[in-house]
């Protein structure tokens, strides 16, 4: 793989990690208080992120022949089946239990939230079991 | 309004806009869709010869996904140094982090998306399956978190 996508992935990741930290999504307690209707801030985070991403995803392929430093615009592949919905249901149970999702588990380490390392390792373990025994 | 947002709204909105800008920047520069859960499968392709992990979409994306993840750690560290008021550790018990994390990893990979993959990238791509996935994990997440609180958990 050439270094250009790696560079932009790193830059975008820095922004992403900064945004996750600023919005306090790296704090499981904040996520859990959303799920308990005590602080609905997560809706603003999601709404703000979707709005900007929506503009980029919808406008860029119409205005540009190809990405500035890439070959083609990818599409998000999602299909409606029992794995998509069943997996989301299991994901939600885990999310409601620990208040950590895949991005904050990584970004939280940068802001010094060390206990999230336990969740990070567990997420890797869950992904391995999924791929090894339920992958197709 | 205040009762729903006891900690204010500015940092939530600003953080969300920055996260959207990150996903948008990755897309405009490289054309890549930056959900976060796939890195947990693609990284296994370095260590496991099992055919599932050796699929092209994992092997072909594992390097930029790791760079993206490294950026996340760096972004968190920049926030800490620049704006953070010292480090902060979660008080969620370790068993909840481990069991919850395992289900998060398993479920997100079975569903092929998480809060960023379905929630941000999928919805921004106007994918109905992603919207249904988001509504599903919000529902089970709310029920689980309320149940844990009701049972006296953290």
Say yes or no: A135 contacts chain B, CB-CB below 8 A.
yes
Cβ count within 10 A of residue A71: 10
pLDDT band at B103 (very low <50, low <70, confident <90, very high): very high
Domain tally, chain A: 1
* pLDDT exceeds cutoff 80 at A112: yes
Is the model more confident about B132 or about A3? B132
pLDDT digits (tens, 9 = 90+) for B122-150: 999 999 999 999 999 999 999 999 999 99
pLDDT value at position A134? 94
pTM exceeds 0.90: yes
pLDDT digits (tens, 9 = 90+) for B52-86: 999 999 999 999 999 999 999 999 999 999 986 67
CB pairs under 8 A between A and B: 540
Smallest Cα–Cα separation from B15: which of A23, A116, A97?
A23
Asked if the Cβ–Cβ distance from B101 to A118 is below 8 Å, we say yes
Cβ count within 10 A of residue A2: 10
Q: Distance (Å, rounded) from C-alpha B4 to C-alpha A38?
A: 6
What domain range includes position A70?
Answer: 3-134
Asked if the Cβ–Cβ distance from B89 to A114 is below 8 Å, we say yes
**Closest residue of chain A to B59, computed from CA coordinates:** A1
pLDDT value at position A78? 83
Distances (CA, A) of B141 to A100, B135, B150: 11, 10, 14
pLDDT value at position A77? 75
Asked if the Cβ–Cβ distance from B71 to A9 is below 8 Å, we say yes
Asked if the Cβ–Cβ distance from B105 to A1 is below 8 Å, we say no
Distances (CA, A) of B86 to A93, A113, B50, B122: 31, 10, 42, 34
User: What mean pLDDT comes out for the span A128-136?
Assistant: 94
């Amino acid at each position: 793989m050439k270094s250009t996508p790696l560079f932009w992935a790193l830059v975008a990741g820095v922004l992403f990690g900064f945004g996750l930290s600023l919005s306090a999504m790296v704090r499981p307690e904040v996520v859990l208080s959303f799920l308990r209707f005590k602080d609905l801030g997560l809706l603003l985070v999601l709404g703000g992120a979707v709005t900007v991403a929506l503009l980029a995803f919808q406008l860029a392929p119409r205005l540009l022949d190809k990405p500035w430093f890439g070959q083609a615009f990818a599409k998000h592949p999602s299909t409606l089946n029992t794995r998509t919905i069943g997996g989301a249901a299991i994901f939600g149970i885990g999310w409601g239990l620990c208040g950590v999702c895949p991005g904050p588990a990584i970004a939280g380490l940068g802001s010094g939230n060390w206990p999230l390392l336990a969740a990070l390792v567990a997420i890797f373990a869950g992904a391995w079991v999924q791929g090894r025994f339920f992958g197709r | 309004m205040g009762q729903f947002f006891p900690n204010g709204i500015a940092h939530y909105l600003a953080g969300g806009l920055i996260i959207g800008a990150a996903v948008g920047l990755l897309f405009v520069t490289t054309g890549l869709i930056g959900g976060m859960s796939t890195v947990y499968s693609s990284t296994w392709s370095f260590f496991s010869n099992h055919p599932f992990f050796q699929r092209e979409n994992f092997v072909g994306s594992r390097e930029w996904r790791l760079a993206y993840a490294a950026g996340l750690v760096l972004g968190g560290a920049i926030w800490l140094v620049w704006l953070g008021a010292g480090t902060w550790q979660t008080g969620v018990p370790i068993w909840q982090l481990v069991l919850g994390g395992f289900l998060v990893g398993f479920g997100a990979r079975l569903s092929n998306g998480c809060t960023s993959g379905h929630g941000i990238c999928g919805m921004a791509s106007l994918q109905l399956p992603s919207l249904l996935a988001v509504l599903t994990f919000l529902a089970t997440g709310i029920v689980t978190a309320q149940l844990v609180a009701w049972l006296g958990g953290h």
